[in-house]
Amino acid sequence: MIELRHITKEFKHKGKVTRALSDVSLTIHKGGITGVIGESGAGKSTLIRCVNLLERPTAGEVIVDGQDLMRLPPADLLRMRRRIGMIFQHFNLLASRTVAGNVAFPLELRRTPRAEIRQRVCQLLQLVGLEDKVDDYPAKLSGGQKQRVAIARALANNPKILLCDEATSALDPATTATILSLLKEINTQMNITILLITHEMNVVNNICTDVLVLSKGQAVERYTMNNE
Amino acid sequence: MAELLLWGTWETLVMTFASGFFGFVLGLPLGVLLFITRAGQIMENRIINSILSVVINLFRAIPFIILIVWMIPFTRLVVGTSIGVAAALVPLSVGAAPFIARMAENSFLEVPYGLVEASRAMGATPFQIVCKTLLPEALPSLVNSATITLITLIGYSTMGGAVGAGGLGQIGYQYGYVGYDMVTMNIVLALLVALVFAVQVAGNFIAKRVDHR
C-alpha cells in the first residue's frame, strides 16, 4: 500500500549538511498498524513527512497505491494528500475555527457543498464522541478532545491511510489509552491503514502489527507483533 | 471656531481611515508575499523576498514629512492637486503600506507553523493556505496592527497639515504655531488625544472579539 524505498533525506543549514535519514526502506501493509519507534532525533518525524511529501526525500522513492509521489505533478500531489489523513502531536487545530469548522476544513478545500459538509461533520463528530462540542472553540477543549477533533478532521475525506505523528505524546496515560483504542477501532472497523511514529514503547506494544526501529536515521530492526 | 474644529476633526478622521484602508489594500498583499517567500515558508523565494524587503525598507526610511513633498508630482498625477484631504491620502497610503506590510509579516510569523503544515497535509493549495489558514489565524494580531497603524496615521495626517493637508494638523499649526493661540492649540491637542484613545479602545475591543485562542 505504501512503500518507502531507500529514502535518504539531507538538510542543508548554513552550508552544513546533516543527514536525517539514510537509506531507509519500509513497506506498509494494507489494513495494518505500522509503528516506527526511535529516540528523539532518530528521523521518525522526517520519515512520516516523506510519506505525503511534506518533506521531499533527497533520494529514494515514495510509492503510495502504486504511484510514485515524487513524480506526480503538483495538482495530483494535492489530490493524493487529500486521500492521506494526518494527525499531530500538538493537534494543529485552527484556533479561529470552531470544532465543526475545523472538521469542515478539508471538505471546504475541495469545495464540498455546504449541506453535505454539515452532514459529514455531524457524522464524524459522532464517531469521535464529541457531538456536544460542535460550536466550541479548540481553546476550550482538553488535550484528548483536541486530538479527537483532529482525528475527525483527518477522516473527513475518507482516507485509506492515516499518518499519526506522535499523536499521543502530549497526552496523559489514561487519555493515551482512549485515543489508542479509538485508532484501533478506526483501523479495524473502517479498514484504514495506519502508520504511526512514537517514542513510547507501550504505544507500539498496544496497537501495532508491524514495527520498525529507527536509530540515528537508519533502520536498525523490524519485526511483526504476534500478540493477537 | 467650534465649527472649524469640528470640520478639522472630520477631515482628520477621513484622512486616517481612508489612508488606513488604502494602506491595507496595498500593504497586506505585500505582507503576505513577504511572509510566504521567506526561507522555509510555502513559496520560498530568496530573490522576490530580498527585493521586496529592500523596497519596503527604502520607503520606511523616508521621513514622512519629506515623503509628502517628494511625492507631489505623483500625487498631482493621481488626484490632480497637491493640497487638501484627497491629495494627502496619496502619501499617507503609500507611507502606511510598507509599515503595514512589516506588521502583517510579523502577525503571520506568530501563527504556529504546525497549522500551515497541517493545511499542506490536507492538500491545501498555497492560495488556500493564505486565505483559510494564515489570514484567519493572524486576524487578532492583524487587528492590533491596524490599531497601531491608524494611530500612527493620525500623527502623520497632522504632520501633513503643516504642508496643506487640512484637518486638525493644519488648525493646530496655523493657530498654534503661526498665530500662537494657546487655547485653540490645546483644544486641537485634546481632540487628537481623544481620537487616539477612541481608536485604541475600539481596536482592543475588536481584537478581543475575534480572538479565540
Q: What is the phi/psi pair of residue A142, to 5°?
A: -80, 170
Q: Give B35 to chain A, closest Cα distance, Å.
A: 19
The confidence score (pLDDT) of residue B178 equals 87
- Contact status of A159 with chain B (Cβ, < 8 Å): no
Using a CB-CB cut-off of 8 Å, the residues of chain A touching B133 are 94
What is the per-residue pLDDT across A99-135, written as a single tens digit (0 to 9) for each? 999 999 999 999 999 999 999 999 999 999 999 999 9
Q: Which of B79, B60, B83 is nearest to B169 (CA)?
A: B83
Q: What percent of chain A has pLDDT over 90?
A: 93
Ramachandran class of B180: left when φ > 0, alpha when ψ lies in -120 to 50, beta otherwise: left
Span A195-208, average pLDDT: 93
Mutate to test the interface with A, among B107, B117, B120, B122 (most CBs of A within 10 A): B122
- Return the percent helix, strand and coil in chain B, to nearest 5: 85, 0, 15
Q: Give B146 to chain A, closest Cα distance, Å.
A: 18
Residue A227 has pLDDT above 60, yes or no: no
Amino acid occupying residue B117: E
Using a CB-CB cut-off of 8 Å, the residues of chain A touching B112 are 90, 92
What is the per-residue pLDDT across A34-44, written as a single tens digit (0 to 9) for each? 999 999 889 99
- Contact status of A59 with chain B (Cβ, < 8 Å): no
Contact A209, A16 (CB under 8 A): no
Torsion of CA A174, A180, A186, A189, to 10 degrees: -90
Contact A57, A50 (CB under 8 A): yes
Q: Which of A17, A48, A50, A73 is nearest to A198 (CA)?
A: A48
The C-alpha cell 487578532 sits at B140
Q: Which of B83, B63, B62 is nearest to B15 (CA)?
A: B83
- Compute the distance between CA of residue B185 and CA of residue B31 in angstroms, rounded to an integer: 38
What is the per-residue pLDDT across B65-98, written as a single tens digit (0 to 9) for each? 899 999 999 999 999 998 899 999 999 999 999 9
User: Is the Cα dihedral B201, B205, B210, B213 positive or negative?
Assistant: positive
B-side interface with A, Cβ within 8 Å?
Answer: 112, 114-115, 117-125, 128, 132-133, 136-137, 139, 210, 212-213
Closest-approach residue (CA) in chain B for A79: B123
- Contact status of A53 with chain B (Cβ, < 8 Å): no
Q: Give A52 to chain B, closest Cα distance, Å.
A: 7
Closest-approach residue (CA) in chain A for B41: A54
Contact A192, A142 (CB under 8 A): no
- Compute the distance between CA of residue B205 and CA of residue A150 in angstroms, rounded to an integer: 30
Mutate to test the interface with B, among A81, A92, A166 (most CBs of B within 10 A): A92
- Compute the distance between CA of residue B118 and CA of residue B19 in angstroms, rounded to an integer: 36
Across A8-17, A52-61, B198-207, least confident range: A8-17
What is the per-residue pLDDT across B157-213, written as a single tens digit (0 to 9) for each? 998 888 888 899 999 988 888 888 999 999 999 999 999 999 999 999 999 999 998
ipTM over 0.90 threshold: yes
- Compute the distance between CA of residue A10 and CA of residue A3 in angstroms, rounded to an integer: 20
Q: Extract the C-alpha cell encoding B110.
A: 506568530
Mutate to test the interface with B, among A46, A94, A155 (most CBs of B within 10 A): A94
Residue A228 has pLDDT above 60, yes or no: no
Span B113-117, average pLDDT: 97
The C-alpha cell 501633513 sits at B160
C-alpha A214, offset from chain centre:
17
What is the per-residue pLDDT across B117-165, written as a single tens digit (0 to 9) for each? 999 999 999 999 999 999 999 999 999 999 999 999 999 999 888 888 8
User: A74-89: b or e for each residue (b if 16 or more CB lie within 10 Å)?
Assistant: eeebbebbbebbbbbb
Q: Inter-chain contact A94–B137, Cβ cutoff 8 Å? A: yes
Mutate to test the interface with B, among A91, A96, A147, A161 (most CBs of B within 10 A): A96
The verdict on pTM exceeding 0.80 is: yes
Would you call A218 helix, strand, or coil by DSSP? strand
- Compute the distance between CA of residue B193 and CA of residue B170 in angstroms, rounded to an integer: 16
Closest-approach residue (CA) in chain B for A89: B114
Residue A41 or residue B48, greater confidence: B48
Strand partners, A221: A213
A78, A97, A153 member nearest B123 (Cβ): A78
Q: Give A225 to chain B, closest Cα distance, Å.
A: 29
